[in-house]
Amino acid sequence: MASEEEVSLLVIVLDVNPIWWGQQAQREPEFTLSKCLDAVMVMANSHLIMTRTNKLAIIASTCQESHFLFPSKHWEDATATSGDGKYELLSVANDLIAEEIKALIGRTEVKGNQTDTLLAGGLAKALCYIHRISKQLDAGQDMKSRILVIKAAEDCALQYMNFMNVIFAAQKQSVLIDACVLDSESGLLQQACDITGGLYLKVPQKVALTQYLLWVFLPDSDQRSQLVLPPPVHVDYRAACFCHRNLIEIGYVCSVCLSIFCNFSPICTTCETAFKIQLPHMVKAKKKKVKPVT
């Protein structure tokens, strides 16, 4: 039983790449964005009613922006009425989320056919929000926070460095990053979960998303040790060389800019420093003393 002083904050980062979801609606009509949102809302409601002091935030992330669905700017204006006797917080939250996502999808311009997502932006905003809430706690209150990422489309290769910065920042703030992957495996998220201590799960059947969310991702980190959860995934930490993008086991690292190469080359292509080549020591031949023949 969590005490009154412990606050548990869950931030859900949802990937709403419109192109992927549009294609998904054509591939599998029984699992569309609205079904996914229903599952997320069930998970969010369950988290809020577990303990009175639990907090929640939901961020939707597209290629162009990441937008807070909950709590949003209109939070204070919303009137707390509920038609069916539901706990007002939950009904207001659900309505807000539905409105915000409709507005977001409506104003997102679909340019090109980018089928990848920039999750690093959503994660960065989540960390800033967590940082702000942790400063606003009353004295004597602890806060445990975690981020749940629901990823749909593939990784975008441009965000590697920003993503790693976000992961290290999360590790420093002791924030767990959990990942629920709908379609293609993501090496970046596997690394994130491994480094911060969260859980990575590729959902085998998308229609059962609610079950996976409630079973695996609802319990917080203290309770996870008591449950039987999916085993940790093998993470490939090998580096990719800068010249061929192959994964290498032994490589050469430039001491100035830390770029990785698979073969020795006299000039670093990234920072253009010339390297000293280590020559073997020249051993001078010793002159043998001729012994006088007696």
Partner 1 sequence: MDEEPEIAKRWEGGYERTWEVLKEDESGSLKATVEDILFQSKRKRVIESHGQVRLGMMRHLFVVVDTSRTMDDHDLKPNRLTSTLKLLEFFVDEYFDQNPISQIGIITTQNKRAQKLTDLSGNPKKHITALKKAVDTTCIGEPSLYNSINLAMQTLKHMPGHTSREILIVLSSLTTCDPANINELVKTLQGLKIRVSVIGLSAEVRVCTVLTRDTGGSYNVILDECHFRELLMLHVKPPPASTSSECSLIRMGFPQHIIATMSEQDAKPSFSMAHLDSTGGPGLGFGGYYCPQCRAKYTELPVECKVCGLTLVSAPHLARSFHHLFPLDAFQESPLEELTGERFCQACQGQLKDQSVFTCPVCRTVFCVECDLFIHDTLHCCPSCIHNQGMS
Rounded Cα gap, residues 230 and 213, in angstroms: 12
Contact 147, 185 (CB under 8 A): no
List 28, 238, 243, 246, residue binding partner 1 (CB under 8 A): 238
For the beta carbon of residue 245, count every other beta carbon within 10 angstroms.
Answer: 8
Tokens at 238, concatenated: 């090998």
List 39, 56, 216, 254, residue binding partner 1 (CB under 8 A): 254
List 27, 52, 234, 286, residue binding partner 1 (CB under 8 A): 234
Chain residues 127-146 in contact with partner 1, contact rule CB under 8 A: 127-129, 131-132, 135
Go through 217-244 and write b for each residue having 16 or more CB atoms within 10 A of its CB, e for each that does not.
Answer: bebbeeebeeeeeeeebeeeeeeebbee
List 1, 80, 250, 290, residue binding partner 1 (CB under 8 A): 250
Chain residues 176-215 in contact with partner 1, contact rule CB under 8 A: 191, 195
The one-character DSSP state at 287 is P
Nearest to 220 by CA among 42, 71, 68, 1: 1
Is 278 a binder of partner 1 (CB under 8 A)?
Answer: yes
Tokens at 216, concatenated: 């695996």
Q: Show the binding pattern over residues 93-112: x = contacts partner 1 (CB under 8 A), - = does not.
A: ------------------x-
Is 253 a binder of partner 1 (CB under 8 A)?
Answer: yes
CB of 294 to partner 1, least distance (A): 47
Is 113 a binder of partner 1 (CB under 8 A)?
Answer: no
**Closer of 140 and 231 to partner 1 (Cβ):** 231
